[in-house]
Amino acid sequence: MSETTLTTIPEGTPHTASTYQAKAYAAPGATSPLAPATILRREPGPRDVQIEVLYCGVCHSDLHQARNEWQSAMPTVYPCVPGHEVIGRVTKAGSAVRKFKEGDLAGVGCMVASCGVCPACRDGQEQFCVAPATFTYNSPDAHLGGVTYGGYSDSIVVDEAFALRIPKSLDPAGAAPLLCAGITTYSPLKRWNVGKGQKVGVVGLGGLGHMGVKLANALGARVVVFTTSPGKTQDAVRLGAHEVVVSKDEAEMQKHLGSFDFILDTVSAPHDVNAYIQLLKTDATMTLVGAPDAPMAVSVFGLLFGRRRLAGSIIGGIAETQEMLDFCAEHSIRADVEVIPVQRINEAYERLMKSDVKYRFVIDMASMK
């Protein structure tokens, strides 16, 4: 596979930091496979940690972004280095860093900066920063110009405020997906007070879905998985589901009408949300975390009858991400992962497209060397 050209600071862009070269895997364009690349990282400043990346999870968002599937909402700037489920070892800590020292494990999720002063940031909900938040990849890079580059790389540099402590009991590969799939499912489950005595649906058993099942189970809910893949039934039960419904089975779906306290929809492609809205109780909520690339039709009557709510949610704040990591350590929760060398990333994307993932690909970054 040919190496993409060295990524340099775009001409004319002011930059304040000195730089070093890092190895990465990048998408050169929407229709080209990911390939080896050399990128520039900033030398760590006083508040930064430099992290040697050990593992990086493969989120379906990486695929959406690499292939420019969200072009109307978040157009992709190429080359694009995806990856926002990063676990690594701190190799340098700036002079003002307090949370980490060299040799510590650290995590980086979907954000690397935010304004810090808007109401959302002050409230610890940096994901809703009005500035907006700087995402780990494909966001304007305030230090170097161009866009940020993600975790499909041997090294990353972030402000310590956006780095997470990884509890010792979590193994690094199984913990990496918690940085996106974990917090994206934990945050809405907490927001909508999921707990004991409640019936909770999880739609789609992929990376997010399987974390949603584990977390909802640990919070004490009765968990029902909706899947299009009958072959995942046994796994769903092993992961913590109390019941599994193959969503193509109309009669099985009908049995659950009006019975759910909460439904979490993690599906990555356009699908019929109305089939799930009608399964909610009066005043109950269905939250979409999946991010299909096309609009989906909502039958208003499904919401009117039952005063039901359709909501959305995106990742979670830094403090809540740390809370989720600590919750996972306490409950021995980690992702079920298939560890791959970075050279197999394009094959992993093809398998994600076929819902063939059990249940998160994680890149072993030692393969980058």
Q: Please report which residue ranges of the chain form alpha helices under DSSP H.
A: 60-66, 119-122, 172-175, 181-191, 207-218, 233-239, 250-254, 274-277, 300-304, 318-330, 345-353
The reply on whether position 278 binds ligand NAP by CB under 6 A is no
The reply on whether position 267 binds ligand NAP by CB under 6 A is yes
The reply on whether position 68 binds ligand NAP by CB under 6 A is no
**Pairwise CA distance, residues 195 & 221, whole Å:** 5
Direct distance between the N- and C-terminal alpha carbons of the chain, in angstroms, rounded to an integer: 15
3 state DSSP class of 151: coil
**Pairwise CA distance, residues 220 & 240, whole Å:** 11
For binding to Zn ion (CB under 5 A), which residues are involved? Answer: 59, 61, 180
**Smallest distance, ligand NAP to C-beta of residue 131, A:** 18
**Smallest distance, ligand NAP to C-beta of residue 177, A:** 9
The reply on whether position 61 binds ligand NAP by CB under 6 A is yes
The site map against ligand NAP for 225-264 (x = CB under 6 A) is --xxx--x--------------------------------
Map the footprint of ligand NAP across residues 310-339, applying CB under 6 A.
313-315
Contact partner, 185, from Zn ion, ligand NAP, none, Cβ < 5-8 Å per class: none
**Smallest distance, ligand NAP to C-beta of residue 6, A:** 29
Note whether 87 and 360 are within 8 A (CB): no
Token pair 């966001």 is at which residue?
139
**In sequence order, what are the beta bridge partners of 156?**
51
Nearer to ligand NAP, 17 or 314 (CB): 314
**Pairwise CA distance, residues 334 & 317, whole Å:** 20
* Site for ligand NAP, rule CB under 6 A: 59-61, 64, 180, 184, 204-209, 227-229, 232, 266-269, 271, 289-291, 313-315, 352, 355, 357
